[in-house]
């Protein structure tokens, strides 16, 4: 597989590779569900934070694209349509293929399909309600898909109604408004739905679209800062990284040891915890976005993992691990057997994701560069 490394930002590939490996390794807890102690706790946290990294990184990348489109004099609805087409050829083919595979596997194994299965086809499975256990890792995708729609559409509407504000400032304003709106939804949740424990929080707030779209837009705010003041963005990269890392450590490893429970501190967990995590991750972007390359023995594997990360995300849990668990139950395995099981799971995920990327994901993405779609951008 030929990769044009000159067109990639290695630091962002590092983020993507770390994020997917955090998610994939976190689900090894299903292999040893009775495991207790520090390592299982860290793995459980890694799964949550891995997805948060994806959200911020996605917002940073699409924010740059949309900003460049919006501030140009030739901005029109066709530019937004072309942006959506390119995003959807990136995300939808893989999603629908793996969704259909999940349905087929559920039928073959005799599992009960969700009553509202149709919601998965419209990314509504967790719009404002707890989603079924079926294809459970898909919870993050509706958040991204709706985020791709909301911001660009609002920008176009303001353009259409000829709001007389500098477009650069308008981009920042709309991004901030979106962040505030979805902070408010979390405040409303806090005062209307009592949390019983972190498991309830996990499925009723953390994984619900109407409470989480702001996670994408912290990355978009970072992209705005990078675009309007690239000199300071680069100059302050180490300070920003240190601050982000410090916030991240305090938030995830120190505060939880201080008896800050969701039952006694609902505002912290419901309103503040996730946004502060997003801000901490965004603060790491100036340094990571400045890393353009690395020695080949580091560059190649990380770039490959980054490239296949979306396929890894879709396949690793409900497809690969479910099939493994069905045919080779992991309960009661000895230590070495568990190590072999986890190794097979990880290697299978990487190998099958690579195959899916080569034979399906990449060819589908290439379609968006066909003259038919490129002509939309020129209209």
pLDDT tens over the chain, length 379 residues: 778 787 899 999 999 999 999 999 999 999 988 888 889 999 999 999 999 999 999 999 999 999 999 999 889 999 999 999 999 999 999 999 999 999 999 999 999 999 999 999 999 999 999 999 999 999 999 999 999 999 999 999 998 888 888 999 999 999 999 999 999 999 999 999 887 788 999 999 999 999 999 999 999 999 999 999 999 999 999 999 999 999 999 999 999 889 898 888 999 999 999 999 999 999 999 999 999 989 999 999 999 999 999 999 999 999 999 999 999 998 888 889 999 999 999 999 999 999 999 999 999 999 988 877 776 766 5
User: What gap in Å lies between CA 265 and CA 273, rounded to an integer?
Assistant: 11
User: What gap in Å lies between CA 69 and CA 73, rounded to an integer?
Assistant: 9
User: What gap in Å lies between CA 161 and CA 78, rounded to an integer?
Assistant: 16
Give the pLDDT confidence score for residue 369 in this predicted structure: 82
Nearest to 305 by CA among 348, 343, 355, 354: 354
Give the pLDDT confidence score for residue 82 in this predicted structure: 92
Residue with tokens 């980054």: 306
User: What gap in Å lies between CA 185 and CA 187, rounded to an integer?
Assistant: 5
How buried is 129 (Cβ within 10 angstroms: 0-12 exposed, 13-18 middle, 19+ buried)? middle
What pTM did the predictor assign?
A: 0.95
User: What gap in Å lies between CA 232 and CA 255, rounded to an integer?
Assistant: 31
Nearest to 310 by CA among 22, 54, 71, 136: 54
CB half-sphere exposure, 187, CA atoms < 13 A: 6
Residue spans of the domains in the chain: they are 5-378
User: What gap in Å lies between CA 311 and CA 354, rounded to an integer?
Assistant: 8
Nearest to 316 by CA among 136, 140, 144, 143: 136
Give the pLDDT confidence score for residue 377 in this predicted structure: 67
**Radius of gyration of the chain from its Cα atoms, rounded to whole angstroms:** 21
User: What gap in Å lies between CA 247 and CA 274, rounded to an integer?
Assistant: 12
Q: Please, are residues 11 and 287 in contact by the beta-carbon 8 Å criterion?
A: yes
């Amino acid at each position: 597989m030929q990769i044009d490394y000159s067109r990639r930002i290695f630091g962002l590939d590092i983020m993507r590779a770390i994020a997917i490996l955090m998610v994939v390794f976190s689900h090894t807890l299903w292999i040893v569900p009775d495991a207790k102690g520090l390592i299982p706790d860290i793995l459980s946290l890694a799964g949550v934070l891995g997805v948060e990294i994806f959200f911020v990184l996605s917002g940073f990348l699409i924010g740059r694209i949309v900003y460049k489109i919006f501030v140009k004099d030739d901005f029109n609805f066709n530019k937004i349509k072309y942006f959506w087409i390119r995003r959807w050829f990136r995300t939808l083919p893989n999603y629908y293929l793996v969704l259909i595979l999940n349905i087929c596997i559920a039928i073959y194994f005799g599992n009960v399909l969700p009553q509202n299965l149709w919601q998965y086809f419209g990314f509504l499975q967790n719009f404002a309600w707890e989603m079924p256990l079926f294809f459970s890792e898909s919870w993050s995708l509706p958040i991204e898909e709706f985020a791709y729609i909301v911001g660009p559409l609002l920008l176009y509407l303001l353009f259409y109604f000829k709001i007389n504000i500098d477009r650069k400032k308008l981009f920042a304003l709309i991004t901030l408004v979106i962040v505030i709106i979805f902070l408010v939804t979390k405040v409303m949740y806090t005062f209307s739905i009592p949390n019983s424990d972190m498991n309830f929080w996990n499925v009723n707030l953390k994984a619900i679209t109407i409470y989480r779209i702001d996670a994408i837009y912290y990355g978009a705010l970072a992209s705005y800062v990078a675009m309007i003041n690239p000199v300071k963005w680069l100059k302050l990269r180490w300070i920003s990284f240190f601050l982000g890392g410090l916030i991240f450590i305090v938030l995830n490893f120190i505060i939880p040891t201080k008896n800050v429970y969701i039952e006694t501190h609902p505002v912290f967990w419901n309103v503040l915890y996730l946004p502060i995590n997003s801000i901490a991750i965004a603060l790491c972007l100036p340094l990571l976005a400045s890393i353009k390359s690395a020695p080949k023995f580091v560059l190649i594997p990380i770039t490959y993992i980054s490239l296949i990360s979306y396929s890894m995300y879709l396949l690793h849990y409900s497809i690969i691990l479910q099939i493994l668990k069905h045919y080779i139950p992991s309960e009661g395995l000895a230590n070495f057997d568990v190590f072999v099981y986890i190794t097979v799971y990880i290697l299978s995920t990487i190998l099958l994701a690579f195959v899916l990327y080569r034979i399906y994901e990449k060819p589908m993405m290439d379609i968006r560069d066909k003259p038919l779609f490129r002509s939309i951008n020129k209209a």
